[in-house]
Structure 1
Amino acid sequence: MTEKVLIIDDDTNLLSGIQRQFRNKFDISVAEGGEKALDMVRSEGPFAVVICDMRMPGMHGVEVLGSLKEHAPDTVRMMLTGNADQLTAIEAINEGNIFRFFTKPCPSDVLAKGIEAGLEQYRLVTAEKELLRKTLAGSVMVLTDVLSMIDTDIFGKSTRLRDWARLLAGHLKLPQPWILDLSVMLSRIGWVAIPAEVREKFKSGESLSKKENEMIQRIPETGKKWISHIPRLEPVAEIVFYQNKGFDGSGFPDDEIAGKDIPLESRVLKVLNDLAGISQDTAPTKLDFRQLDLQAQLYDPEIVQIVRQSLPKADAENRDLYFETAEVPLNLLIAGYELLSDIETKDGKLILAKHQQLTKTLLTKLRNIGEIQGIKEPIRVRKHIVRKV
């Protein structure tokens, strides 16, 4: 019994009876009234199935199910009521988007079959979403691996940003954390449209012409145009578009959007992108945050505070609890290792910049180059270690 079922009613006797009757068959929770039920959904969810009475003091059933639809769209919603008039049914179906409608008194076998059908529907919905999420994430991972081969310095930073974003997702309580994950991974895709010589001038700090500056500024717009062609990634496209927008309204794009009107994930990206440009380590230091504070008007202060509290500090003592550094030859590199030094060919050409996490695609590239041109060895890496308890 992994999926949870929530029964909502103001009749405590009915709730106790359902719990006793189905305690060995389903994982049943109960709530007396709509307000308590919604609190439980927020604090104890997700619930696979919710069955709600129609006539209750305070919030009535349609209100509860409508709110539930907004906050927990995957939950299968049902109604159990003694007021089965046609108007009630129509309202419940249209506003609460219910899956089943039961009338009191409801035979236990009918209710059990309804719950089982609801659980099966929940599994179908969540399995489809999980398949879509994994398919999109896998496709984006392949794409970013390929992009990192074009320019290791620019596209390789996406891996570090993704790791930071995943640490933040839980603290931010995002309803769909995968959206931030994909937004981070695709945030630099617009750089593909920038000529190599302009990318090199930008990275080296050389002065750019007016046209070259405009090119750089419009990178998020290019990314948005490309991402918007992918079905269901419209929110990601919008997030990428606003990733360089200052909290005070400055920056690209030049419009009137500012403050909380900027997508939340874009505000997160703005902080992470700028920290990545400052930080020379895998985690930002206090000095990095001080530099960020010099332009505090550009960042959402709440997000900056969350980032300060949740990202691991670049403290050697803390890192050594979970990681160890090593110098290893090319043939012993493993996907998941983090580079602590640049990887270069024997004649000094940069192949991969430090602070990237090795993937299977990158390892294949390195080994192919190693066979033809040779690579400087050993390579300094950080690898995860599992402490025995």
Structure 2
Amino acid sequence: MQKSPSVLFVDDEPRILDTYRASLRKQFKVDTANGPEEGLEKIKTSGPYAVVVSDLKMPKMDGITFLAKVQELSPDTVRVMLTGHADVESAISAVNNGAVFRFLTKPSPLDVMIRTLEVCMKQYSLVVAERELFRGTLRGCIKVLTDILSLVNPEAFGRSERVRRLAGYISQNMKLRQNLYLDLAAMLCQLGCVTLTDTVLEKVFNGDKLDAEEQQIYDMHPAVTASMLAQIPRMSAVSDIILHQHDSLVDNPTMSTEARILRACLDYDVLIQRGMSQQDAIDSLRSRTGVYDLKVLDVLERGTAGEDGYVRREVGLTELLPGMILDEALWSIDKVHLMAEGTEVTETALMRLNNFIKSKRLSPTIRVLVPLNFLQ
């Protein structure tokens, strides 16, 4: 359940904080912090706050530095500077370095403070609404693309789904603040494979050696995907991650953390699909000096390969539900490859499977990973 928007006042004078709390508690949900260090800790443990109001003159850390750190920790939070030393230089510095939305002098009249906080709350709501709209719209568009990929090339789609779960596990344990772009990149990292022939893909997934021409074509698929995504607004970060998904760290030391995670997950998945055990796969990756970020491999080794939170079950095809994950590839009796191992069941997939079930072209049961919350 989402928390109601609240305001954090930060000042080194407890008397002033008491005044804010008493004067504004009827209009707003108010929290206070005695100094910038306590303020940053509260943002980490009790945030996000819709608005942070900070005094400018505080010991150890001034308000400008503090609000700049607030911006790093909580980019959506609207920041207000309050000071009794209202000179032009301080105002300019606060706006430029702390991304301050409003600059007030103190003592600020109560009606001015209330109007300012109301405007800040509206600004926060707009920012959050725009971000959620962006995330929802973008994810919806991407889902259409991946649903098409699942129909055209189930093996490539299955790989992207497995890699997505791995990448999500690693990003969560590495505590990446922004994981949307990595999630989208993992979803789309195999999209360029629609341009490859079945022969090339079969060789890649089986670990067979490609000839020079096939290798060149295969190596181009990230660039093909990046080119496709260039047509979608605000997808440049996702496009860049995918473009560098096959880079080695030694050759590209400035590659993003997201690209490093994607590279490791892709190569790990290849080894697992060839029948290698989890530990042997990790050892193989570690033996390739200079290719991977060792911090990423450490997290991958400590984890459960993205399968935590699931139990294995054999279920009837009519019992499949969205959110379950195939623990084996699904083929029709007449050898049509419908879904790869590791593919998450979706509404679109179920619609297609129902047609095969009605025509009695499928075996009656299949092994799946069932989310634990399905069993509660």
Structure 1 residue 162 displacement after superposition = 1.6
Q: Give, in whole Å, the separation in 1 of the partners of 2:331 and 2:80.
A: 61
Which deviates the most, 262-271 or 112-121?
A: 112-121
Structure 1 172/4 Cα, relative in aligned 2: closer, same or farther at 3 Å?
Answer: farther
For 1:363 and 1:84, how far apart are their aligned partners in 2? 64
Report what 2:221 is aligned to: 219
Q: Which amino acid aligns with 1:217?
A: D
**Aligned residue number for residue 299 of structure 1:** 292
Change (3 A) 1:283 1:93: farther
Return the offset for 1:355. 2.2
Equivalent residue for 2:142? 140
Q: Would the alpha carbon gap of residues 283 and 109 (structure 1) be closer, same or farther in structure 2, given more than 3 Å must change?
A: farther
Spell out the pairing of 1:313-324 with structure 2 (5 A cutoff). Answer: 322-324=310-312
> Is the 2:33–2:39 Cα contact (8 Å) retained in structure 1?
yes
- Residue of structure 2 equivalent to 1:185: 187
RMSD: 2.8
What's the CA shift for 1:267? 0.6
Q: More displaced, 57-66 or 152-161?
A: 57-66
Structure 1 position 365 matched with structure 2 position 358: no
Gaps of 5+ in 2: none
User: Which residue of the other structure, out of 223, 238, 258, is the alignment partner of 1:265?
Assistant: 258
User: Residue 100 of structure 2 aligns with which residue?
Assistant: 98
Cα pair distance change 1:22/1:133, threshold 3 Å: same
Any conservation in 1 of the 2:324–2:368 contact (CA below 8 Å)? yes
Deviations 1:176-204 (A, max 9, x none): 11111101101111212223332234334
Q: Does the 8 Å contact 2:166/2:306 carry over to 1?
A: no
- Equivalent pair of 2:205/2:273 in contact (CA under 8 Å): no
Q: Quote how far apart the aligned CAs of 1:46 are.
A: 2.0
2:223–2:243 CA contact under 8 A, matched in 1: yes
Q: Is the 8 A contact 1:220 1:241 kept in 2?
A: yes
TM-score, length basis structure 1: 0.86
User: 1:336-347 to 2 correspondence within 5 Å?
Assistant: 336-347=323-334
- From 314, 317, 327, the equivalent of 1:326 is 314
Task: Give the aligned partner of residue 366 of structure 2.
Answer: 379
Q: Matched residue pairs, number? A: 374
Contact 1:194/1:216, CA 8 A, preserved across alignment: yes
Residues 42 and 30 of structure 1, relative CA distance in 2, 3 Å threshold? same
Aligned pairs for 1:97-136 within 5 A: 97-136=99-138
Cα distance in structure 1, aligned partners of 2:301 and 2:212: 36
Q: Equivalent of 1:335, from 307, 313, 322?
A: 322
Q: Pick which of 71-80 and 342-351 moved more.
A: 342-351
CA contact (8 A) 1:324 1:385 kept: no
**Rounded Cα–Cα distance in structure 1 between residues aligned with 2:169 and 2:279:** 18
Paired letter, 2:298: Q
Q: Residues 19-38 of structure 1 correspond to what in structure 2 (within 5 A)?
A: 19-38=21-40
Note the C-alpha offset of 1:131. Answer: 1.0
Matched, 1:353 2:355: no
User: Secondary structure in 2 aligned to 1:279?
Assistant: helix
Q: Alignment partner of 2:323: what SS? A: coil
Which letter maps to 1:326?
Answer: E
Change (3 A) 1:91 1:205: closer
SS of residue matched to 1:74: coil
Q: CA deviation at 1:324?
A: 4.5
Taking the aligned partners of 1:388 and 1:29, their CA distance within structure 2 comes to 40
Q: Which residue of 2 aligns with 1:308?
A: 301
Mapped partners of 1:313, 1:133: distance in 2: 23
Offset from partner CA, 1:339-386 (integer Å, 9 cap, x none): 223322222332222221111111112223444572222233332344
| Distance in structure 2 (CA, Å) of the matches to 1:128 and 1:110 | 27
What secondary structure is seen at the aligned counterpart in 1 of 2:248?
coil
Asked if the contact 1:343–1:376 (Cα under 8 Å) also holds between the matched residues in 2, the reply is no
Counterpart for residue 50 of structure 1: 52
- The aligned counterpart of 2:68 is 66
Check 1:308–1:207 CA distance in 2 against 1; reply closer, same or farther (3 A cut): closer
**Contact residue 324 and residue 384 of structure 1 kept, 8 A:** no
Indicate if the aligned counterparts of 1:369 and 1:375 stay in contact, CA closer than 8 A. yes
Q: CA deviation at 1:213?
A: 0.8
User: Residue 344 of structure 2: SS of its match in structure 1?
Assistant: coil
Task: For 2:232 and 2:129, locate their aligned partners in 1 and report how far apart those are by CA, in whole Å.
Answer: 20
Following superposition, which runs of at least 4 residues in structure 1 exceed 4 angstroms of deviation? 280-284
Counterpart amino acid of residue 337 in structure 2: L
Tell me the amino acid that sits aligned with residue 361 of structure 1. T
Q: 1:297 aligns to what SS in structure 2?
A: coil
Q: Distance in 1 between matches of 2:273 and 2:208?
A: 20
- Tell me how far apart the structure 2 counterparts of residues 355 and 313 of structure 1 sit (CA, whole Å): 11
What is the Cα deviation at residue 5 of structure 1?
A: 1.8
Q: Conserved in 2, the CA contact under 8 Å of 1:345 and 1:376?
A: yes
Q: Between the two proteins, what is the percent identity of the paired residues?
A: 32
- Matches of 1:185 and 1:388, distance apart in 2: 27
- Please give the secondary structure, in 1, of the residue aligned with 2:82: strand
